[in-house]
Structure 1
Amino acid sequence: MYDVIADMGPSFLGSRLKRLAERLQAGAMATIAEAGLPLQPGHMAILAALRGGAMTIGQLSEVIGISQPAVTRSVGQLVALGILDRATCADQRTRRLALTAAGEAAAQQAATDLWPRIGVAAEELLADLSAPFLPQIAAIERALDAASIAERAARARPGGLRLREFEPALAADFHDINAQWIGAMFALEPTDREVLENPQSRIIAPGGTILFVEAPGLGVVGTCALQKTGPTSFELTKMGVRESARGLKAGEFLLAAMIDRARTLGADPLYLLTNAKCAAAIHLYAKLGFVHDAGIMARYGTRYARCNVAMLYRGQP
């Protein structure tokens, strides 16, 4: 299924992290409910902070790192539940918050049962990552302390598109970009799945290549492959661009680069197979030097059930 938040890359980082946090908190909420505590995940940081002693709203906000209005809402809920109590300080103007007896019991149960179990579950999620995740979060937080997203966006001057060569870490992008557009317009055929799931063995190892186009702020937005089909013949295939890159001319940039790469490989012929429904793509192919060719259709067109257009690269006039 198409995932618009993931597809938008770094531009939607906040939304993706929020979605991830909601999934994590939903699991924590179920664990809290199973333990019989009338609390929410958002209450836990307050309990943890107040185990060390009473604090004001301002102090809680500072040590937890969230806004005072958000802390105030959670405190109101905890006071209503009998978990917290307000006490007037010596200056009579400030109130400090402290755990009640019920709050102490809840915090003790959380510290000895809930937090360790949820921590073990989180460690399982992080175990297979290639680099420690929590230090990376800390680094992002420090960077935001230095300059917010708003400040960074105000001074950002997005540069041009750039090419990236295939590497195993980009195999998922190759699969997902192509699976999205093929699935939206047609149906994935066995030959599609074989190539998309095995790009190293089906494209790279036999002498072909895969290129990607990356856009500032959006990450990898498009990909295209040259598949070797004979001693010198190459098929331009699996070309797709994400919806997030619409208007950036990423497809034309990528296609021009792939034609140049085909020249360096001595591609003869260089051809492609497509469908008349892909009118915008066919127009782009023609613009950059491809022409309709009955011989290519007869020789290669049976590869895909959806193929009713075959084009041969002749070069731009």
Structure 2
Amino acid sequence: MNLFDESGALAVSTRLQRLSDQFRKDGMLIYQANQIDFEPKWFPVIYALHIKSSLSILELSEEIGYAHPSTISLLKELEKEGLIESFKDEKDERKRMVKLTVKATALVEKMQPVWDKIRRAATEITNTANNLLLAMNETEYQLKKESFFDRYQRISQEETESAIQVVDYKPEHAKAFYDLNFAWISEVYEVEPEDEKVLSDPEKYYLKNGGAILIVLYNDEPVGTCALKLSSEGIFEMSKMTVSKKIRGKKIGELLGNAIIKKAGEMGARKVILYSNKKGSAAGINLYRKLGFVEVPLIRADYKRADIKMELDL
């Protein structure tokens, strides 16, 4: 047993590749032993067209489970070998169909007895207590339900969410509130006097005026902020929403946005408004739209950089 065998599921792709390489290598030896000029990589296309007679390129791609570019590349190679030919579909001339040539049909006839023995040999190899073919069917079914990448993303998100807490602002969060917001504002915009006033005393600007501040903790470290300022009766302005650059890409912004909207509802808000900048905060505006905010006419704003106003009715 080598290190890849011991690594378990981590090396599943490497081990499958190793198995595939061994089968392909032995497959070449089998064809050579029978004086058949055929490469194992051609098998999916040749076999599919042998069974289905003719297929469009898209149908063939779906049948063999290859990406469209990979199918095209393989077809070009087989066409060069004189094993497939293309023609226009009688019902739709825009559709390109492919089929086996006379040469390929004769080759398939020659390979049939060889394929029968290959099937028997492969059955001996795979017919174990943990039947490989059954396991492959189950694995392919699982991948159709949810891809490898999507599973990774889900597991990562679950781990992130388990490490996240959204808490109400406390005095000990003052420095984090200042640092996190100053970082993103100064990176894209000019820090305005209004920014300094708000960041330096968030309790006075937000909390003492009937607002709220939420802090995102990731493994107990402050990594995000969002505030609500009471604008008028039943209307709150959402501002100072940011997530640390080092933790972006984990959907924390969306989680924070939903939390602040929920907070506004608990505080009796019937509407939440916000001001932003179309160019400098494009990603943020996309998030606001996802959260349900819609653009409304901008009449005035406290910040020079603001060029868009959005609102959400609760």
TM-score, scaled to structure 1: 0.47
TM-score with structure 2 setting the length: 0.47
CA radius of gyration, larger in: 2
Higher-RCO chain (CA-CA 8 Å, sequence separation at least 6): 1
